[in-house]
Structure 1
Amino acid sequence: MPRSSNKPLTFIDAFAGCGGLSLGLMQAGLIGCFAIERDAFAFDTLKTNLLAEGAPHRYRWPRWLPKKPIGIDELLSSYQEQLKKISGSVDLLVGGPPCQGFSAAGRRQHDDPRNQLFDSYLKMVDIIKPKAVLIENVRGFTIDFNAGDEIKNFSQLLKDRLSDGYMVYEQLLDLSIFGVPQARTRYFVIAFRCELNVPNPFLHLKNRLPTFLRSLRLTAPVSSATAISDLEVARNGKQPSLESKGFEEICYVSPLTHFQKLMNTKGQTPTDLRLARHREDIVSRFKQIIELSHAEGRLNKSVGAEIRERFGLKKMALRVLDPDSPSPTITSMPDDLLHYSEPRTLTVRENARLQSFPDWYSFQGKYTSGGHRRKQEVPRFTQVANAVPPLAARAIGETLADLFRSQSMKTNVRSDHKVGSSLHSVQQSAEVSA
């Protein structure tokens, strides 16, 4: 039976993180069935924003699945029968297996256990048999790994595995084209079951991009200052943090630009405005680095060798925001990026703005984790950095809805044509018999 063209698409989010992909798809009108996320901090963020009563967007969570952190391997082993019962009924399986082992921002390790989780994702594809699959990952996912005696390329392995039953499309996308105030290039795979005969979704995404931006009254690219200028301490002032003793936070006034109003549609005070505690000598150093980066034209770029030598810096990734351009890719290390005019690192909320999270979306858990805990915990800064920007997810969700709708209409037209032809044949037979 063809799906109704008016029926919303359903999806399951694997490796959901803090929910950026789910949120954007829900904003596009899709229905989230449930999400898989094993980290307690990230799941708490999901639960607070996408499971709470009265939330603007909510999952339609099944009764058989507890609302608690769970890994994909545990889901497959403990709930396989329940998953088999929904086989073929879910439109979309989405998710980005953890990307740290593939990322050029850190040490790329082919045998990082987190890399192996994409095998579990594909097992879930085999069980659920969704009509379409959406996968997001870092650019490094497409690069060959030197794995001892062999060369591995995870993107090629992924395409090979999906090609049995699915038509696979892939694309590297700079997400700033969707109005995300961040130059963030990510690798996307969209695969449709072969019998659906869906055309290249990335061509459709490109063609409808102007319509998407007009619908939100956005002009891309969106600059850093356009996204976060209303959060400057110089404008708002500071107050004692409402949740962290011994810290201060920005005392928020109001949005200034259209983008900021789009993120602050409810007119509420944003959460996650806690400021880092910098020593006086660090503040002085940051001030000089910001001034020199402006003077040398190195905004959004790693600070030069002269600056590193002058201040005895070993950190290679330190950059100063360019207020007139989208930010560089947000990372999980809060001290990688300095504000464009204030001698400080960014708040979680400022990073969230650069990722296009709305102000009502609050983050839970620790702010940061150190040492060995970085592989075991997903604190707020990491949650934001690892997320799919909701604006990009929304654009992709609207594109998928368009494609499914058009395919449904074609199917219905073909069905109507077949019915009409059959009736005509019956009528002719009746006339001959008479």
Structure 2
Amino acid sequence: MTTIITKGSFNFIDVFAGCGGLSLGLMQGGWQGLFAIEQDSNAFETFAHNLTNENSRYPFSWPSWLPNTPHSINDILQSYRTNLAALEGAVDMIVGGPPCQGFSSAGRRDPNDPRNRLVESYLEFVGLIKPKIVLIENVKGITQDFVDTNAADGKINYSKQIIDSLSVDYFVSSRMIDTSAFGVPQTRHRFFIIAIKKELIPFFDENPFDAIEQFRFSFLRLKGIHSIPVSSKSAISDLEIARNGKQPSRDSAGFEEIAYIGPQTSYQRLLHCEFGPSIPDTRLARHKPEIVSRFKKIIELCHADGRLNVTLSAELKASFGLRKCAIRVLDPDNPSPTITSMPDDLIHYSEPRALTVRENARLQSFPDWFAFKGKYTTGGDRRKKEVPRFTQVANAVPPLMAEVIGRVLAKQLLSLNQNFDSSLTSVIVDQNALEFLEDLA
């Protein structure tokens, strides 16, 4: 087995990449993407538009042997196994989280959901390439026990399965993180795993999660975020219709979108990136007049009763004839609750409407230049197969959170290089791997 120490940017492969939130954050943190795997055509269209286009701000390298198209991890393992095996020793990090719907408390938890089995494919992929670091993100539900009639004790815990499997060759640490502590204007608790090759541990100064926590305030200052948590109003007040007005949608005939004047707060300026007056994904929902009237009353009642960011009471839902269980009104003075793939789960704090894709993206810390592609919404059985824009945003790792992690891990790898003892024979340079990386340059 060879572990390669390379010069220049550290590289990564993103598995289950979705629309690219994790990849974007890592590249903002100094990493270089090699390639990514995502099977949904809508999500991959967004990913490719923003991160593989030659005009992208943060373009992936992308190897010539892999078509720049949607792929499933199992297709990659089957069709490109030889190419993957050739990467052994050449990849600094493999990242990603197996699709979380089967684990999520936001939906019905299904232990037999075939997406849960993709954990095994992910581990097989890691075992084939043997990167220095493995980074995994998932919902809290992955840490819970599922019924499994094939298991000796009748249950399975996927987080334990992942940690036990990686622990053979890696030092594994894990932590539950609330992304609002890192400048994301959303209370979003996610489970992270960081695994580091055992042979490299002597060269790492500290536990990566301790390093991430210690870097937190320096990172926030670096980003111009002077107080946390960032409130939802601080994130999206510049997108209020009352301030900007409306105009015909540029990508959906028969719809209107929010016009745009410019950012107001430091967080808005950070994400606007001097992009210009026309930002994407501000299409408004076409609410019927009775829905607008209902939303107005709900907003008034929730403000009066102090029931912001919390699910409507059963009595209130019944009074409005609502059957949805998760509808909430945003609290302007606090981070939003965890956003979901359902557009009308959150009502704007002052305007009687659902949030736009762009407003959801702001709450996830996506920059304004990052445009989402494909359908806006879907429904019925298609929800299990399609990943429209709202779902792409909801499923993503917040780029700000990913950037924090990327900066810390890059610093630790750089420290590893500086502390590297050339007499350590278990860490060597593989010439074929170097040639592969040079071909990508």
Note whether the superposition's TM-score is higher than 0.5: yes
**What secondary structure sits across from 1:203 in the alignment?**
helix
Partner of 2:439: none
8 Å CA contact 1:300, 1:328 repeated in 2: yes
Which of the numbers 329, 334, 341 marks the counterpart of 2:338?
Answer: 329
Distance in 2 separating the partners of 1:398 and 1:220: 20
Aligned-pair identity (%): 57
1:79-90 correspondence runs (5 A)? 79-90=80-91
Distance in 2 separating the partners of 1:156 and 1:292: 44
1:393-412 correspondence runs (5 A)? 393-412=402-421
Which of the numbers 207, 210, 224 marks the counterpart of 2:214?
Answer: 207
Partner of 1:259: 267
Distance in 1 separating the partners of 2:107 and 2:407: 33
Structure 1 residue 413: deviation in Å?
A: 9.0
Partner of 1:8: 9
1:54-93 correspondence runs (5 A)? 54-93=55-94
1:30-429 correspondence runs (5 A)? 30-148=31-149, 150-197=154-201, 198=204, 199-218=206-225, 219-268=227-276, 269-412=278-421
Query: How many correspondences in the alignment?
Result: 414
Report the TM-score, using the length of structure 1 for normalisation.
0.93
Partner of 2:431: none
Distance in 1 separating the partners of 2:341 and 2:132: 33
Structure 1 residue 315: deviation in Å?
A: 1.3
Structure 1 residue 316: deviation in Å?
A: 1.4
- For residues 66-114 of structure 1, what are the alpha-carbon distances to aligned partners after superposition, in whole Å with 9 as ceiling and x for unaligned? 0000000000000000011111110000001100000001110111011
Distance in 1 separating the partners of 2:248 and 2:21: 29
Distance change >3 Å, CA 100–CA 152, structure 1 → 2: same
Structure 1 residue 3: deviation in Å?
A: 2.6
Partner of 2:430: none
Distance in 2 separating the partners of 1:291 and 1:252: 26
**What secondary structure sits across from 1:135 in the alignment?**
strand
TM superposition outliers: structure 1 runs of 4+ over 4 Å: 412-415
- Amino acid of the residue matched to residue 264 of structure 1? H
- Amino acid of the residue matched to residue 76 of structure 1? L
8 Å CA contact 1:2, 1:411 repeated in 2: no
Structure 1 residue 146: deviation in Å?
A: 2.1
Distance in 1 separating the partners of 2:71 and 2:57: 24
- Amino acid of the residue matched to residue 176 of structure 2? L
Residue range with higher mean Cα deviation, 366-375 or 210-219: 210-219
8 Å CA contact 1:136, 1:189 repeated in 2: yes
Structure 1 residue 414: deviation in Å?
A: 8.0
Distance change >3 Å, CA 50–CA 141, structure 1 → 2: same
**What secondary structure sits across from 2:420 in the alignment?**
helix
- Amino acid of the residue matched to residue 73 of structure 2? I
Structure 1: any 5+ residue segments left out of the alignment?
A: 416-434
**What secondary structure sits across from 2:134 in the alignment?**
strand
Distance in 2 separating the partners of 1:377 and 1:409: 46
Distance in 2 separating the partners of 1:309 and 1:375: 29
Distance in 1 separating the partners of 2:381 and 2:235: 33
Structure 1 residue 314: deviation in Å?
A: 1.5
Q: Which of 1 and 2 has higher RCO (CA within 8 Å, sep 6+)?
A: 2
- Amino acid of the residue matched to residue 250 of structure 2? L
8 Å CA contact 2:275, 2:369 repeated in 1: no
8 Å CA contact 1:240, 1:248 repeated in 2: yes
Say what the alpha-carbon RMSD is for the aligned residues. Answer: 1.3
Structure 1 residue 313: deviation in Å?
A: 1.4
Structure 1 residue 295: deviation in Å?
A: 0.8
**What secondary structure sits across from 2:406 in the alignment?**
helix
8 Å CA contact 1:2, 1:412 repeated in 2: no
Structure 2: any 5+ residue segments left out of the alignment?
A: 425-441
